[in-house]
Structure 1
């Protein structure tokens, strides 16, 4: 499971029990130690750590409400009751599945560190999460996005306004060309662009580095932005590629606003965030004939199954592949 593959949303039905309640029950110290383990030993991304922390805080609150003040006293029935309670409260299947995964990860660590004598989550099962394919941009809408960005640049009335328009165009081009996560885009530094080989060096989940090809339009948009970057960059910008209007490294929330606003200006384009552009990139690559493992490498997925979940393949593309490859087609 890769918790930060999907842009975070908070369902009010997922609201966690009071953290103070969990602290009073004596369950918090192990959670603090586990959080340090995830950060310093597992080297997980901040978003992933927050997701796991929220899931275990929810479990701790549930256990405290049942009078359980020691992780060593938790058994399989407690965990099943927790998942059933989530279901009764209307939690989505994806939420229940994610929290079951977090519990399995936590208790495996707790057994390994001697904090609990047995693993009550080893056989824990959750309902299979629905794997509905998210909406994506078709090629016509994608072309409309870049036409809109070009029109914005042309209509800019002063250098600073044009710099913002060039930055936004480069953000959209790089997200779509390279299929980056929003955190990866915000973390780009100028030294990570190999212009000779048209590659971007990206630091992704788990602090793993990968190189991803940069398309010609994206390369041009990036060069145009970097030429005017000094108009927006302040002393705190350092070597970051993209800066916000205050002059420091751009925040993921700003990137999301840019993407949503850009797509909202294009007729018939779905309301997508940065992850939607990542998904569109993968979909269009597959439709164009790219093999799944190459797309997996470009997206930085640890599992090929994750790549399959986040890509559309048209029925016609499947029929073409069958006719070309199957000996009895």
Structure 2
């Protein structure tokens, strides 16, 4: 089993080109099932587990209050593992062959309004010192470039082109893309970098965004930053970096951007991923439609 997990990691990293975060999530899920299976069925090796055992794990997860979305994600990890065992001819049939995902409620995520974003940026209009300047730049980058949290955290100094008003980020499956920046954001990049050079200690020289102690940012830090600033202007439940990315896409579509262009900016591999943002634009389209269509004129 240990050798299989190492080989599976190589398969995810080298062949599927998944990000380190995704690879670790898959392996953690497999380890959790392995532990459950050992305790529940006294079976050391999950390679020969059957669907009844997996179903028992699913029931246990649900009983523990794990959401259907999270359970489905764990099943995706197991599916990938058994698919790998099939591919390497270590099993003949996947125990998850006939598994159906648990039902989930499709809740529409509501992006920040233009006013909410402007209100936050107005609060930060004249940032002073390293942290305030960095925080304003982070919020502006999420909103004007639509980058992912991991892309911001791993942005390298060498991939910031101030003169060309672009940044190069490493997205999912190690796909690089170049994102244009507004001139006002490029000005903030220079301001931040000047402050960054004054830090007494820098442990991670290659990374563009750092803490005041010169360390690389982490996911929790970035989440708290966005949540803290937007909690002052918004009562929405989700106030996360992803919600700012969602807001970026929705506001572009609301203001006439075509879906293909937004897809490229977001770094999506297919239009299907981008189309989820059109739902938020429908309210705007409906308003224009009702105001403009002759049949609705009074």
> Is the alpha carbon distance of 1:131 and 1:296 closer, same or farther for their aligned partners in structure 2, counting shifts above 3 Å?
farther
Partner of 1:54: 28
Partner of 2:295: none
Indicate if the aligned counterparts of 2:26 and 2:77 stay in contact, CA closer than 8 A.
Answer: yes
* Partners of 2:69 and 2:113 in 1: CA distance: 26
Shift of 1:323: 9.9
- Is the counterpart of residue 246 in structure 1 residue 190 in structure 2? no
Indicate if the aligned counterparts of 1:263 and 1:271 stay in contact, CA closer than 8 A.
Answer: no
> Is the alpha carbon distance of 1:58 and 1:236 closer, same or farther for their aligned partners in structure 2, counting shifts above 3 Å?
closer
Indicate if the aligned counterparts of 2:162 and 2:190 stay in contact, CA closer than 8 A.
Answer: no
* Partners of 2:68 and 2:216 in 1: CA distance: 36
* Partners of 1:276 and 1:61 in 2: CA distance: 35
Identify the match of residue 9 of structure 2 among 19, 35, 38. Answer: 35
> Is the alpha carbon distance of 1:271 and 1:91 closer, same or farther for their aligned partners in structure 2, counting shifts above 3 Å?
closer
Shift of 1:320: 4.3
Cα-Cα RMSD: 2.7
Q: TM-score, normalised by structure 2?
A: 0.86
Shift of 1:321: 7.0
Identify the match of residue 230 of structure 2 among 263, 282, 297. Answer: 263
- Is the counterpart of residue 192 in structure 1 residue 171 in structure 2? no
Identify the match of residue 108 of structure 1 among 74, 78, 83. Answer: 83
> Is the alpha carbon distance of 1:178 and 1:88 closer, same or farther for their aligned partners in structure 2, counting shifts above 3 Å?
same
Q: Secondary structure at the match of 2:124?
A: helix
* Partners of 2:57 and 2:277 in 1: CA distance: 29
Indicate if the aligned counterparts of 1:94 and 1:130 stay in contact, CA closer than 8 A.
Answer: no
Identify the match of residue 111 of structure 2 among 120, 136, 144. Answer: 136
Structure 1: give runs of 5+ residues left out of the alignment.
Answer: 1-26, 157-161, 325-329
* Partners of 1:266 and 1:77 in 2: CA distance: 49
| Post-superposition CA distance 1:304-327 (Å, at most 9, x none) | 333233562232315647999xxx
Report the count of equivalent residues.
291
Shift of 1:28: 4.6
> Is the alpha carbon distance of 1:290 and 1:305 closer, same or farther for their aligned partners in structure 2, counting shifts above 3 Å?
same
Structure 2: give runs of 5+ residues left out of the alignment.
Answer: 293-298
- Is the counterpart of residue 216 in structure 1 residue 183 in structure 2? yes
> Is the alpha carbon distance of 1:239 and 1:195 closer, same or farther for their aligned partners in structure 2, counting shifts above 3 Å?
same
Q: Secondary structure at the match of 1:231?
A: coil
> Is the alpha carbon distance of 1:178 and 1:127 closer, same or farther for their aligned partners in structure 2, counting shifts above 3 Å?
same
- Is the counterpart of residue 148 in structure 1 residue 123 in structure 2? yes
Shift of 1:242: 1.4
Question: What pairs with 1:1-329 in structure 2 (closer than 5 Å)?
Answer: 27-64=1-38, 65-151=40-126, 153=127, 156=128, 162-232=129-199, 234-266=201-233, 268=235, 272-310=239-277, 312-318=280-286, 320=288
* Partners of 1:77 and 1:267 in 2: CA distance: 46
Shift of 1:57: 2.1
* Partners of 2:82 and 2:123 in 1: CA distance: 50
Report the more deviating stretch, 220-229 or 234-243: 234-243
* Partners of 1:272 and 1:99 in 2: CA distance: 25
* Partners of 2:155 and 2:148 in 1: CA distance: 11
Indicate if the aligned counterparts of 1:244 and 1:251 stay in contact, CA closer than 8 A.
Answer: no
